[in-house]
């Protein structure tokens, strides 16, 4: 007994971070099984869990879960690191899947890990072969913060070394854990499930459209001609995220296919999430297990590991994990989306009992190292190794972890879309509010729907999943913009009554410019091909009218949208030409009116002032015009100087504005001013890398949260909306669309900036 205990001696507490049962997903099952297995193998070790929640109320967890994190709430990650440090755990073991953590590519996790004092062992459930830049950056930081990376396939280890430059000695291979079940005959329990005397094919797991089950159903037509006693069991509930936002569309499609192919007597749907004991019983009765996934990019599969571990003959498509696990005669591989090949292999194995049983035995024997008892021992060995190494070689805090602390002097609130959805009906987003209630009297306007479309597009890019229904909201707002565009004159109409009647045939230049701004930005953010096509088409059509625009704010809004569009389609010569014309026009207005004491293009400051230097900065940077950049920085510094008092933002009030030589209107202060300044300061930071601009962006943002003249927050955390303005006698309690969208766009802009800083950790410059 002494020799068994020796290898994990000194480890008293292990905290495992991941999803946890009763949350229904593969990571939750794995995390739960790992915690239980370590607890069983080493009862003297206190092994417990930190659970990730995809909904605010969480789940009814067992006692093993001692802390919960709302995956989208950055504050929770900081607090959880404090909790873990106080708990004095010896090891933190992270179950990593990009989608279960908040922030760009799950980057919120890095804040948690960067603050931990103990060694970190990270199990990678996904390793991407062709990662987008943000995913590559997260994996690089994750590898840096982890003392050891655990992979469940040798191909994953190769990817880490070849694609992510992770040293080999930092990688440990440990099989995906499986229950220890006896090698039994498949007919043993068939009567319990009503399939006695049947040949049983089985696929299990949470149902989603990438499973490829339709190919097995098509193959079944040929199979039952040769083996009419075959029955195919499809075991598993629809994945909760799929069910929540797409319904049971995939299952219904499969059921309709069963009817069309006349397979009703040969297919059984078990629409439920089964516990381990019953799952093993289902696996026990299977003669052949099928994994017909549609794509190769799957680096591990718990369902395949379970099937092999119960001694099943497996037929699979050649995704990465299956190709590795089923090598050397441990299963059969068929091409992707090839029902004929699938049918041929099923028939062959059903015709050849000897061959089928030989495959079963090879699979079963190969997976004896994967039973949870063995897997838990290997994890304990890794834990002991990293703890010894950390004791011998203490690591300094990472430099970029210090930077993260520097840039997050306050916690950004969680993105909450309740208010946005409440104000959106089947036409679009309503303009105004009576307190928190939509006011239908004033109907709709195009530029609010454009901003709502931009918020939905940004949310799809930077929120961890489309669990917010943002794809359908984007479609909704795009539909409004399409209807608002007047083909006869090439201009957007702006105001629409609640009865869907346009008040004018041509909206203002500024509203047209705001629509182009949001469309261009949406093109850069969106992934949905239909949405990209529609946004691009509408953007290009609307752009034809702007060459003759003279309103400086219309020019500025157009330029910001144009540069976002060119970020995606940089070779579009027509758009580049329009950009050059508008940028020169805006710059000329600045040159002609600017003086040393009034570096501005007009003799007054009124609304959305920050958008003007923002457009100059973007244009100067993209066009390599240092004179534009200089003018943009000069005017923005001046604007900040006259709108900052006692270290807080004081936007020019709409009740009188600010005429050159006259008094500044103190009130009414509008949320769109804070939004325009946040975005302008962020752009100045992106171009100069001067951290002062970062701090100024945070200062302007904090105006929403109560760092303002009245020390009163405009953001309403209960609704997710924003009050309409700061008045001399208090807060305007109405939460209209423009104000709430100004808040949302500001919050998303800063969340993106924070994530980029965590990922890139570029050196900061501090200027006077």
pLDDT tens by residue, 98-138 = 989 988 889 999 989 998 999 999 999 999 999 988 899 99
Q: What is the pLDDT of residues 448-457, one digit of tens each?
A: 999 999 999 9
Opening angle at CA 713, ends 709 and 718, nearest 5: 170
232 and 269, same domain (yes or no): yes
* Boundaries of domain holding 582: 409-759
DSSP of 142-178, one letter per residue? HHHH-SEEEESSHHHHHHHHHTS---GGGEEE-PPPB
How far is Cα 229 from Cα 674, in angstroms, rounded to an integer? 70
- What pLDDT sits at residue 60? 94
Grouping H, G, I as helix, E, B as strand and the rest as coil, residue 733 is coil
- What pLDDT sits at residue 752? 84
In-domain check, residue 554: yes
- Provide CB contacts within 8 A for 725, sequence distance 6+: 654, 667, 668, 669, 670, 671, 714, 731, 732, 739
Q: Looking at the 3D structure of the chain, how many domains does it have?
A: 3
Q: What is the pLDDT of residues 303-328, one digit of tens each?
A: 999 999 999 999 999 999 999 999 99
Mean pLDDT, rounded, for 419-448: 95
In-domain check, residue 625: yes
Domain of 157: which CATH number?
Answer: 3.40.50.2000
Confidence label for 464 from pLDDT (cuts 50, 70 and 90): low
- What pLDDT sits at residue 763? 34
How far is Cα 311 from Cα 359, in angstroms, rounded to an integer? 8
384 and 354, same domain (yes or no): no
228 and 326, same domain (yes or no): yes
323 and 452, same domain (yes or no): no
How far is Cα 293 from Cα 209, in angstroms, rounded to an integer? 9
- What pLDDT sits at residue 247? 74
566 and 700, same domain (yes or no): yes
Domain of 637: which CATH number?
Answer: 1.50.10.10
Is the pLDDT reported for residue 766 higher than 50? no
384 and 500, same domain (yes or no): no
- What pLDDT sits at residue 533? 93
How far is Cα 572 from Cα 355, in angstroms, rounded to an integer? 60
- What pLDDT sits at residue 453? 96
56 and 79, same domain (yes or no): yes
- What pLDDT sits at residue 563? 96
131 and 37, same domain (yes or no): yes
In-domain check, residue 183: no
385 and 453, same domain (yes or no): no
198 and 306, same domain (yes or no): yes
Is the pLDDT reported for residue 219 higher than 80? yes
418 contacts 719 by C-beta, under 8 angstroms:
yes
Buried b (16+ CB within 10 A) or exposed e, 598-616: bbbbbeebeebbbbbbbbb
Task: Note the helical H segments in 526-571.
Answer: 529-543, 552-568
Q: What is the pLDDT of residues 53-97, one digit of tens each?
A: 988 889 999 999 999 999 988 888 988 998 999 888 999 999 999
Q: Could you tell me the two tokens for 676?
A: 């325009």
- What pLDDT sits at residue 402? 44
Size (the chain), residues: 768
DSSP of 199-242, one letter per residue? EEEEEES-B-GGG-HHHHHHHHHHHHHH-TTEEEEEE-PBPHHH
- What pLDDT sits at residue 186? 79
**Token pair 């995809």 in the structure block, residue:** 54
In-domain check, residue 764: no
Q: What is the pLDDT of residues 236-281, one digit of tens each?
A: 888 777 776 667 888 889 999 999 999 999 999 998 887 878 888 8
383 contacts 7 by C-beta, under 8 angstroms:
no
Is the pLDDT reported for residue 407 higher than 60? no
């Amino acid at each position: 007994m002494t020799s068994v205990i020796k290898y994990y001696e000194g480890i008293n507490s292990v905290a495992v971070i991941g999803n946890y049962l009763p949350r229904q997903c593969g990571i939750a099952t794995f995390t739960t099984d790992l915690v239980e297995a370590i607890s069983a193998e080493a009862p003297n070790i206190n092994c417990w869990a930190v659970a990730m929640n995809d909904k605010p109320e969480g789940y009814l967890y067992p006692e093993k879960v001692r802390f919960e994190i709302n995956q989208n709430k950055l504050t929770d990650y900081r607090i959880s690191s404090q909790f873990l440090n106080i708990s004095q755990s010896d090891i933190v073991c992270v179950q990593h899947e990009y989608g279960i953590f908040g922030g760009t590519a799950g980057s919120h996790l890095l804040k948690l890990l960067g603050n931990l004092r103990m060694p970190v062992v990270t199990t990678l459930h996904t390793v991407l072969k062709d990662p987008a830049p943000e995913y590559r950056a997260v994996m690089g930081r994750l590898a840096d913060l982890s003392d050891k990376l655990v992979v469940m396939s040798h191909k994953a280890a190769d990817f880490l070394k070849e694609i992510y430059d992770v040293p080999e000695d930092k990688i440990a291979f440990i099989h995906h854990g499986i229950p220890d079940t006896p090698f039994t005959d498949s007919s043993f329990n068939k009567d319990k499930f009503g399939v006695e005397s049947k040949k049983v094919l089985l696929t299990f797991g949470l149902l989603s459209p990438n499973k490829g089950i339709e190919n097995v159903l098509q193959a079944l037509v040929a199979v039952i001609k040769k083996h009419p006693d075959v029955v195919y069991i499809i075991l598993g509930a629809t994945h909760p995220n799929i069910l929540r936002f797409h319904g049971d569309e995939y299952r219904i499609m499969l059921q309709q296919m069963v009817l069309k192919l006349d397979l009703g007597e040969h297919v059984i749907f078990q629409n439920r999430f089964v516990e381990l004991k019953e799952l093993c019983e289902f696996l026990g009765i299977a003669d052949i297990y099928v994994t017909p996934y549609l794509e190769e990019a799957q680096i591990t599969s718990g369902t395949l590991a379970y099937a092999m571990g119960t001694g099943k003959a497996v037929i699979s498509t050649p995704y990465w994990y299956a190709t590795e696990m089923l090598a050397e005669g441990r299963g059969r591989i068929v091409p992707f989306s090839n029902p004929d090949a699938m049918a041929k292999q099923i028939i062959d194995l059903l015709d050849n009992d000897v061959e089928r049983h030989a495959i079963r035995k090879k699979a079963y024997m190969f997976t004896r190292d994967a039973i949870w008892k063995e897997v838990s021992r290997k994890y304990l060995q890794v834990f002991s190794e990293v703890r010894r190494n950390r004791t011998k070689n203490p690591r300094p805090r990472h430099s970029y972890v210090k930077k993260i602390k520097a840039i997050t002097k306050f916690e950004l609130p969680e993105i909450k879309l309740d208010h946005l959805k409440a104000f959106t009906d089947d036409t679009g987003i309503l303009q105004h509010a009576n307190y928190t209630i939509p006011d239908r009297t004033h109907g709709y306007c195009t530029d609010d729907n454009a901003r709502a479309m931009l918020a939905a597009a940004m949310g799809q890019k930077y929120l961890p999943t489309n669990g917010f229904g943002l794809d359908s909201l984007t479609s909704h707002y795009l539909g409004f913009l399409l209807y608002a565009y007047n083909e006869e004159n090439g201009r957007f109409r702006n105001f629409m009554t609640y009865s869907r009647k346009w008040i004018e045939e041509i909206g203002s230049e500024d509203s047209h410019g705001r629509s182009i701004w949001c469309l261009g930005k949406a093109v850069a953010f969106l992934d949905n091909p239909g949405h990209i096509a529609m946004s691009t088409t509408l953007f290009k059509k609307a752009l034809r009218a702007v060459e003759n625009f003279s309103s400086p704010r219309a020019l500025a809004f157009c330029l910001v949208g144009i540069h976002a569009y060119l970020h995606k389609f940089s070779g579009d010569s027509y758009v580049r030409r329009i950009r050059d014309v508008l940028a020169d026009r805006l710059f000329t207005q600045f040159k002609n009116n600017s003086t040393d004491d009034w570096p501005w293009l007009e003799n007054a400051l009124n609304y959305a002032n920050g958008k003007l230097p923002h457009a100059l900065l973007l244009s100067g940077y993209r066009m390599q015009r240092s004179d534009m950049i200089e003018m943009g920085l000069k005017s923005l510094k001046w604007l900040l100087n006259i709108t900052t008092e006692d270290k807080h933002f004081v936007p020019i009030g709409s009740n009188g504005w600010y005429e050159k030589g006259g008094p500044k209107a103190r009130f009414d202060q509008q949320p769109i001013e804070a939004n325009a300044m946040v975005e302008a300061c962020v752009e100045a930071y992106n171009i100069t890398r001067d951290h002062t601009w970062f701090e100024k962006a945070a200062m302007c943002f904090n105006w929403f949260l109560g760092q303002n003249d009245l020390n009163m927050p405009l953001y309403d955390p209960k609704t997710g909306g924003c009050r309409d303005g700061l008045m001399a006698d208090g807060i305007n309690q109405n939460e209209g669309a423009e104000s709430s969208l100004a808040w949302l766009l500001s919050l998303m802009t800063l969340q993106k900036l924070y994530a980029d800083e965590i990922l890139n950790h570029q050196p900061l410059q501090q200027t006077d």
